[in-house]
Amino acid sequence: MSGDSTRPGHLGIIVNPLSGRDVRRLAARAHSESPQSKRNTVARAVIGAAAAGATDFYLVREPFQIATGAVENLRIDARFEVLDLPLTMRAEDSALAARRMREAGCGALIVLGGDGTNRAIVRSWRDAPLMPLSTGTNNVFPRMIEATVAGAAAGAVASRGVALAEAAPRAKLIEVEIEDEPDDLALVDAAFLVGDHAGNLLPFDPHHLRTAVLARAEAGAVGMSPIGGLIDPCGAGDDFGVVVDCEAHAPGARELLVPVSPGLYRKVFVTRHRRVSLDEPLRLTGPGLLAFDGDRERELAPGQRATLRIARRGPHVLDAERCLALAAERGLFVDRAWNDPYDGPRGGGCC
């Protein structure tokens, strides 16, 4: 991170209490994440991080008591600082939490949320050290990984047992310049749509899609990413992106069957696709709507221009396997003092 001012052992946990619970579940077949499920995930992540050397945890108090409820009965040797923030139950809450945790010197952030949650954090802290855990709907950026392991990786970095530069490469993102308006960004995909409206949470209608700019085009994903991934895959480590142009019923358009949401396939009408180099400018002109990581937010007026670039100037994303392999090489878990009252004799039956 630029101007590193982290404090050893300090780690932040950001939970989007609404991720995995929005209206998109009514229009597809996505599962819902309950507050109790997230609470259990946070508890496992905290245990893993503490076992790897994290000592000070920063949490946010929110109405569902997910993070605070997760740690109230852990009784491990760690300090918990609860941040009381002016919450709006919008993406800005995650951005504010990230800023406060940066000021507190957190060397890693464990994030429970989807692509949109992580995007909000990165808009606030561009080179944030992230361990993103998936709890949203159409997720590409966060990982599906056991929280204990993810926590241990984040704890190893926060405690400086493993250096951030060793095990957390900078991610690609899409930088967006909009004429006469503030800049924006996307972590995975930026889509240009016509005939849609800002704030729409339902799965996108392929008839509205004109262009998909993909920092990651993954065949094994759902949402916008597989539109490119099922034609010309592009992963997180590839130094290029993919652009796909679409128009229903256009001459020569190919129908591509795409999982646009969990359990929901729709046909997308592809007219052309190509790879794009990092920092290559891509220009779009309104009228239309820009959607970033699935969130339809920015409208372009007729004639208004936007310039997009895929760049490797995103957050540091922790590679859990790499972190723990380095921790093992250095004996980080050898002869480490540890006391967890939960791990002890219990009466009753088996299991």
Is residue 45 within 8 A of residue 13, CB to CB? The reply is: yes
Could you give the domains of the chain?
A: 10-171+314-329 (3.40.50.10330), 173-311 (2.60.200.30)
pLDDT for the residue numbered 201: 77
Q: Per residue in 142-162, pLDDT tens?
A: 999 999 999 999 999 999 999
**β-pair type (10-15, 108-113):** parallel
Beta strands in 215-334 (DSSP E): 240-246, 254-261, 264-277, 282-285, 288-292, 295-300, 305-311, 316-317
Q: Per residue in 95-127, pLDDT tens?
A: 999 999 999 999 999 999 999 999 999 999 999
Query: Edge-to-edge, what's the strand order for the sheet holding 254-261?
Result: 254-261, 264-277, 240-246, 209-214, 189-193, 288-292, 295-300
Segments of the chain scoring below 50 in pLDDT = none
* Phi, then psi, of 88 in degrees rounded to 5: -120, -5
R_g of the chain, CA atoms, integer Å: 21
Which of 233, 245, 246, 252 lies closest to 206, judged by CA? 246
Which of 2, 293, 6, 316 lies closest to 130, judged by CA? 316
Any idea how long the chain is? Answer: 351
pLDDT for the residue numbered 82: 98
List Cα–Cα distances, 297 to 131, 139, 170, in angstroms. 26, 18, 25
Tokens 């590193």 identify what position? 4
Is residue 74 within 8 A of residue 43, CB to CB? The reply is: yes
Which of 11, 316, 322, 42 lies closest to 158, judged by CA? 11
> For residue 141, with 0-12 CB atoms within 10 Å meaning exposed, 13-18 middle and 19 or more buried, which class applies?
buried
Statement: the pTM of the whole predicted model exceeds 0.85: yes
pLDDT for the residue numbered 100: 98
List Cα–Cα distances, 213 to 163, 186, 225, 277, 317, in angstroms. 32, 10, 9, 12, 21
Residue 343: strand, helix, or coil: coil
Tokens 């405690």 identify what position? 159
d(Cα 110, Cα 1) in Å, to the nearest integer? 16
